[in-house]
Amino acid sequence: MKKHLFEDRRDYIRQTFAHEPKSQQAIRAAMASPEDQINVPSEDGRLLQLLVRLVGAKKIVEIGTLGGYSSLWMAQAMPKGGQIYTCEYEDRRAKIADKHFKKYAKGKKITIVQGNAHETLPKLSKKGPFDLIFIDADKISYAKYLDWAEKNLRRGGLIVGDNTFLFDAIWQEHPVDRVRQEALFAMRDFNRRLSNPKKYQSMLLNTGQGMTVAMKL
Ligand SMILES: C[S@@+](CC[C@H](N)C(=O)[O-])C[C@H]1O[C@@H](n2cnc3c(N)ncnc32)[C@H](O)[C@@H]1O
């Protein structure tokens, strides 16, 4: 049988470009139950870092903190004086994130905005405009989050949406059972709006779950 150096393409990418720092390993260890294992993979963490650096993102909003895994990747790439506001409505998850930010993100400004993002985002508007808005929460709300993001992003800033293949439902006529119709409509609307070349320079990246990246023109 033919021998391979790596398990597959993803394994090669991870081992070459996306080694996980101890801090991120600690967060994953604290979020070991299956319902908590919904963080971005390490290669997407590295991609987020690249995006943060490309636009010199100093003011970031993340919708969907979980245990703080993706926040930490972004924080580690932020320029001095950078600030992340990360939204989470589950207290238990927010507490885990807070504990790890205190330990591993000293000197970085990360504010956990606790509560339902639909209520907390309008209050965050006064801190904007933002350089990067990362959307990674309930899929059904992506179009609504985009309404907010479009108003609160600076020109040249990035809207980044994760899971934009919607578990591969996005391109199928009869999507898999776990995906609700409303989520499918919301995600198609999200990608359709961000694909408008008059408003954005954008692409849906072929990552494991699909990541839409759009720069506001
Ligand atoms: C996919 S996880 C986020 C993963 C995280 N970005 C990472 O990669 O480490 C989605 C998170 O969004 C939170 N969430 C979902 N809907 C929300 C809402 N309306 N307001 C605030 N948080 C929400 C969930 O509790 C969950 O922790």
Do residues 66 and 38 make contact, with C-beta atoms less than 8 angstroms apart?
yes
Which tokens sit at 162?
């994760």
Do residues 77 and 53 make contact, with C-beta atoms less than 8 angstroms apart?
yes
What is the tens place of the pLDDT at every residue in 175-209? Answer: 777 889 999 999 999 999 999 999 999 999 999 99
Do residues 66 and 40 make contact, with C-beta atoms less than 8 angstroms apart?
no
Average pLDDT, the chain: 96
What is the tens place of the pLDDT at every residue in 29-70? Answer: 999 999 999 999 999 999 999 999 999 999 999 999 999 999
Q: How far is the CA of 4 from the centre of ligand 1 (A)?
A: 37
Which atom in ligand 1 lies closest to the alpha carbon of residue 45? 8
Pocket lining: 90 vs ligand 1, CB cutoff 6 Å:
yes
Q: Which residue has the tokens 């927010």?
A: 94
What is the tens place of the pLDDT at every residue in 71-115? Answer: 999 999 999 999 999 999 999 999 999 999 999 998 889 999 999
Q: How far is the CA of 1 from the centre of ligand 1 (A)?
A: 43
Give counts: helices (H), strands (E), the chain: 8, 7
Q: How far is the CA of 198 from the centre of ligand 1 (A)?
A: 30
Pocket lining: 135 vs ligand 1, CB cutoff 6 Å:
no
pLDDT tier at 13, thresholds 50, 70, 90: very high
Q: How far is the CA of 64 from the centre of ligand 1 (A)?
A: 3
pLDDT score recorded for residue 178: 80
What is the tens place of the pLDDT at every residue in 108-156? Answer: 899 999 999 999 999 999 999 999 999 999 999 999 999 999 999 999 9
- β strands within 69-114, DSSP E: 83-88, 109-114
Pairwise CA distance, residues 147 & 155, whole Å? 15
Q: Which CATH number fits domain 9-216: 3.40.50.740, 3.30.70.100, 3.50.50.60, 3.40.50.150?
A: 3.40.50.150
Residue 161, phi then psi, degrees to nearest 5: -120, 130
**Rounded to the nearest 5 degrees, what angle is found at the Cα of 113, between the Cα atoms of 129 and 84?**
50
